[in-house]
A and B are shown apart, each in its own frame.
Chain A
Amino acid sequence: MKSKKEIEYTQSAANVPDEWFSWKERDKEKLEQVSRPSLSYWQDAWRRLVKNKMAMLGLIFLVLLTIMAIIGPILSPYEVNRQSLPDQYQPPSMEHWFGTDNAGRDVFTRTWYGARISLFVGFIAALIDVTIGIIWGGISGYKGGRTDNIMMRIIEVLYGLPYLLVVILLLVVLGPSLGTIILALTITGWVGMARIVRGQVLQIKNYEFILASKSFGTKTFRIIRKNLLPNAMGPIIVQMTLTIPSAIFAEAFLSFIGLGIQAPFASWGVMANDSLGAILSGNWWTLFFPAFFISFTMFAFNVLGDGLQDALDPKLRK
């Protein structure tokens, strides 16, 4: 039996005989089948990140650097701060792979020790920024109205303060140490993150699934934690990868102007500052290794951040 629709169709195509057509049975099973495995947002982002060669180069460098920061100083037979004047300014050799500096200290050991400090400062500062930024930006964006207004005005005032000058001021008063440097870097550093989180929350909070969640009677805190934050995670991660190099730069910069990590710690900025005179006398290795590692670490974070920005952008999802 032909259905009414089929009869109408054959009549409209009047000149084509019915025999030319055959009815193909639809396979209901096949219709429901998914042509390729569905990827979660994170799987898709990872897939795209892996394709980005520069970002992967950055990621691999950072993983290796982290490993060396942990085991590097243990591998070396030299102490970080053991001075030995007879060994002053040894060029790179089998005993001292990266040479020795003005006090005969082993540059190889100090470089990995500096990596510890730089990565530690970068990660902890970024982590604190993210925590404060998420809380501040989340509340500000989600509550809206007057709360948002007041919180945003505070951010605008803090944003106007010159970041490095405030950091310098605090360190002059508090005295430079690992703790005070991280404190000074984060005291106004979270503002950028808070602005980004707020922007995300403002956008996402108007989506239907938030309304659905609300209509089920979900509590505000749970909505922020379970619905808002996971969806705002992309830009937050990107901002974080870009916060770390700026913290590393700030630490090196502070060391350079005499407000950095003090002995017995060694940081890349301190090493670069110590070896400024050496470069004129031709002992290039004392400056080269800290300079190379500061620059390449910042480079790695920057390209990784760029890659993540593309990979995590839902608009670019294919």
Chain B
Amino acid sequence: MKHMLKYILKRLLIMVITLWVIITLTFILMINIPGSPFNSDQSSNETVQANLEAHYNLDQPYYIQYLLYIKSIVTFDFGPSIKQPNQTVNDLLSRGFPISFELGIITIVLAVISGILVGIIAALRHNGFLDYLTMGIAVLGISIPNFILATLLIQQLAVNLEIFPTATWRSPAHMVLPVLALATGPMAIIARLTRSTMLEVLTQDYIKMAKAKGLSPWKVIFKHALRNALMPVVTIMGTLFAGILTGTFVIEQIFAIPGMGRYFVESINQRDYPVIMGTTVFYSAFLIIMLFIVDVVYGILDPRIKMHQKGGK
């Protein structure tokens, strides 16, 4: 228990440092932007200029600005937008994030469940037809970028066959194509990983033992094998979250979904620096906290994990 606590505290410390690095990085980049966004000639709008000055305390020296910047982020205030005078990043977040979150959650649930199932089937049919078929599709799934898959899906299923609507986010039918485009890559990664760890686990003595006891194949797989086979899947969850999140940028853009990712890409194209920085910090913080949760969950699930690593493997 003491080790567990120490492990969690260590991860927590690393998380805080990582958060601090990304916040500091955005601050340094912000004051170094060529033709600074705070230049009055770039943002001729007076309201905007006033907003910026109020938020970033531009009359203060850099170190005070820096401290106030950190304070504003800790208190969840991500600053104003340059291009849309009466908008703040918080406004955009509260409008767009729920939609992106919905898209992300559906994608993750679909990818994890179907990925694990496909992985198990492939492992049970090792070197069989189903194994080759699913793993062949999985390699393709990893190789086709999500934005390419999205355009292919639109062209085939929405324009040619007219099965699904092409864009926007209104009904479950609208969700099918974007979720499919976004989930295929992670699904393929999870399926491949589950298969390879499953194959390893299935050769172990305790599985033979469970079979020898006369347990049903279902029980052996789901109760004994899968539990251990899923450990590596937990470790890559952090990376998968990051991939899906950045994936939402292009998917929302292509499908005209009014989520956060779309605002983000728009702000990049319009060089709306405060929105870019604010969103980046928000997204980074979100992902870093997710990574922390994944690490802690992994620590709880795997009793073998060394709680106090010291320069060893």
The interface of chain A, by Cβ under 8 A from chain B, is: 54, 144-146, 148-149, 152-153, 156-158, 160-166, 168-170, 172-173, 175, 199, 202-203, 245, 249, 252-253, 256-259, 272, 276, 279-280, 284, 287, 291, 294-296, 298-299, 302-303, 306
B293 within 8 A of A: no
8 sample A-B contacts, Cβ–Cβ < 8 Å, listed by A number: A161-B21, A161-B284, A162-B283, A173-B29, A173-B33, A252-B147, A253-B246, A295-B143
Contact of A149 among B25, B143, B311 (CB under 8 A): B311
Complex Cα–Cα for A148 and B311 (A) = 6
Cross-interface CB contact of A291 among B148, B269, B288, cutoff 8 Å = B148
Question: Which chain B residues (81-119) contact chain A, with CB distance < 8 Å?
Answer: none
- The docked-state distance in angstroms from the alpha carbon of A152 to that of B280 is 25
Q: Once the chains bind, are B271 and A172 in contact (CB under 8 Å)? A: yes
Interface pair A298/B143, CB less than 8 Å apart: yes
A169 touches B268 (CB 8 A): no
Shortest C-beta distance, A5 to chain B (Å), equals 42
Contacts of B226 in A (CB 8 A): none
Contact with A along B114-158 (1 / 0, CB 8 A): 000000000000000000000000011011110110011011000
Task: Choose one: A163, A202, A272, A303; the contact of B312 (CB below 8 Å).
Answer: A202
B159 interfacial by beta-carbon distance below 8 Å: yes
Chain A residue, CB-CB nearest to B270: A258
CB-CB under 8 A from B147, the residues of chain A are: 252-253, 256, 272
Is B221 engaged at the interface, CB distance under 8 Å to the other chain?
Answer: no
Chain B residues 255-272 with CB under 8 Å of chain A are: 265, 268-269, 271
| Residues A162 and B271 in contact in the complex (CB < 8 Å), given A144-B311, A157-B21, A170-B29 | no
CB distance from B185 to the nearest CB of A (A): 10
Are the CB atoms of A279 and B312 closer together than 8 Å? no
Residues in chain B near residue A160, CB distance under 8 A: 14-15, 18, 288, 291
CB-contact partner of B18 in A157, A280, A295, under 8 A: A157
A249 touches B246 (CB 8 A): no
- Apart from the given pairs A157-B21, A280-B154, A295-B143, 16 other A-B contacts in the complex at a CB distance below 8 Å: A149-B311, A160-B15, A160-B291, A162-B242, A165-B280, A169-B25, A169-B29, A169-B280, A172-B33, A173-B33, A252-B145, A253-B145, A256-B250, A276-B254, A296-B143, A302-B143
Is B18 in contact with A294, judged by CB distance below 8 angstroms?
Answer: no
- Whole-angstrom CA separation of A256 from B148 in the bound complex: 10
Complex partner residue of A172 from B18, B254, B276, B284, CB under 8 angstroms: B276
Interface residues of B (CB under 8 A from A): 14-15, 17-18, 21-22, 25-26, 29, 32-34, 139-140, 142-145, 147-148, 151-152, 154-155, 159, 242, 245-246, 249-250, 253-254, 265, 268-269, 271, 273, 276-277, 280, 283-284, 287-288, 291, 310-313
Nearest CB to that of B271 among chain A residues? Answer: A172
* A287 with B250, Cβ < 8 A, contacts A199-B313, A202-B312 known: no
Q: In the complex, which residues of chain B have a beta carbon less than 8 angstroms from the beta carbon of A256?
A: 147, 250
Contact B250 A162 (CB under 8 A): no
Q: In the docked arrangement, what's the CA distance between A205 and B250, Å? A: 45
B22→A172 contact, CB < 8 A = no
A168/B14 in contact, CB under 8 A: no
A287–B246 CB distance below 8 A: no
Report the Cα distance A257→B249, complex, angstroms: 8
With A157-B21, A164-B242, A170-B29 already in contact, the answer to whether A299 and B143 are too (CB < 8 A) is yes
Q: Which of A257, A259, A298 contacts B145 (CB 8 A)?
A: A298
Instruction: Determine how close the nearest CB of chain B comes to the CB of A24; give it in whole angstroms.
Output: 42
Question: From B291, which residue of chain A is reached at the shortest CB distance?
Answer: A160
Inter-chain CA distance A104–B283, complex, in Å, is 40
Chain A residues with CB under 8 A of B15: 160
A259 to B269, CA, bound (A): 8
> How many whole Å from A206's CB to the nearest CB in chain B?
10
Let me know if A279 and B242 touch, CB within 8 A. no
Given contacts A160-B18, A166-B25, A245-B143, contact A257 B280 (CB under 8 A): no
Q: Which residues of B contact A153 (CB under 8 A)?
A: 14
Which residue of B151, B283, B284 contacts A287 across the interface (Cβ within 8 Å)? B151
Q: Min CB distance, A68 to chain B, in Å?
A: 19
Are A165 and B311 in contact (CB-based, < 8 A)?
no
Bound Cα distance A92, B187 (Å): 35
Q: Which of A166, A203, A306 has the most CB of B within 10 A?
A: A166
Cα A296 to Cα B140 in complex, Å, equals 9
- Which residues of B have CB within 8 Å of A296? 143
CB distance from B244 to the nearest CB of A (A): 11
